[in-house]
Amino acid sequence: MISDIRPMVSAFLIFIISLAALIFSARIFTNSAERIGLYFQLPPLVIGIFIVGVGTSLPELVSAIISAHNGVSEVVAGNIFGSNISNILFITGVVALIHKIDIHLSSKYIFIDLHYLIGSIFAITLFSYDGVIEWHESIIGLFIFVVYSMYLVKNEAVVPDQKKMKLNNRGKFPLKNVGFLLVGGIGIYLGAEYTISSLSEIAISFEIPNSIVALTILSLGTTLPELVVNVQAIRKGQAEMAIGNVLGSSVFNCLVVPSIASFISPIAVPDELLHFALPVMIASGLFFYLITHDKHISRWEGMLFVLIYIIFLLKVVESHV
């Protein structure tokens, strides 16, 4: 009996350690890239979207690439759906609860990011409905993300004078950050490699599909960078930016993650995801859209988001125990 448990316990410990290494490495990579971007005087919005935003989604992206390469592509779909549900419900709810007062959203988030969130969810739904995401569909997803990025850069706000002065006094080239960037990249790859392999062992031990483990444990773990970044934003009084990070990360997960992974191997979308996780993700996006249309998110609404996410997890566990 003990000998049967040991491999399962070992796989779970490896999963926890490798996931922690993946998240920590992504943080090192993002911080280093952000400092290098500031040295080259990249616009703040570009740094926010393409460095911080993409950096917090690196665990999902690298995990998807490793999964597709290892022939367990169903993990990709489970992680995408689960991460978006976690982003929209859990992280938004936690952010609203921590902020204590209502979060006020400007028209920018309502008329740009929010609409692209709905559009990206609609796109991945169309890609997934037949049970597989092919590379030629992914080209469309990448194109949509490029259009989204170009629109944001084109409508970038003017950098404050004080910020410009700081950028002009940039000092020496941050050579050590280049080293941290390389170390972070290696850590991300190794962390993702061991995370996916241990995830498969856990699924086999519990006789649960890989996609379901990815939908719950892996997706919750890979959204931790977003949670850390958004909590820091709340402490700095940037609640609206925290919501923007949630939307941007979800758009990236829907459009870029499956697109890149599908170039390696077609992404399988099992029935258990099509019949439950995908509808929940769609409903979460629409619910978020309706809740935020008055440009406010209250603590009570945040509590509702968290409770719905808990119900989602309980239903997934209940159906596979």
pLDDT of residue 151: 79
Measured CA to CA in angstroms, residue 208 lies from 212, 271, 320 at distances of: 7, 14, 7
Question: Do the Cβ atoms of 110 and 295 come closer than 8 Å?
Answer: yes
CATH fold for domain 2-319: A middle domain of Talin 1 (1.20.1420)
pLDDT tens-digit readout, 103-138? 887 766 666 778 889 999 999 999 999 999 998 888
pLDDT of residue 3: 47
Tell me what the pLDDT averaged over the chain comes to.
81
Token reading at 6: 């040991």
pLDDT tens-digit readout, 291-317? 888 888 888 999 999 999 999 999 988
Residue type, 217: I
What secondary structure does DSSP assign to 56-106, as a single string?
HTHHHHHHHHHHHHTT-THHHHHHHHHHHHIIIIIIHHHHHHHH-SPEE--
Phi, psi of 296, rounded to the nearest 5 degrees: -140, 145
pLDDT of residue 4: 59
pLDDT of residue 110: 64
% of the chain surpassing 70 pLDDT: 87
Integer Cα distance of 66 and 80 in angstroms: 14
pLDDT of residue 227: 79
Ranges of the chain whose pLDDT falls below 70: 1-5, 42-53, 107-111, 155-171, 320-321
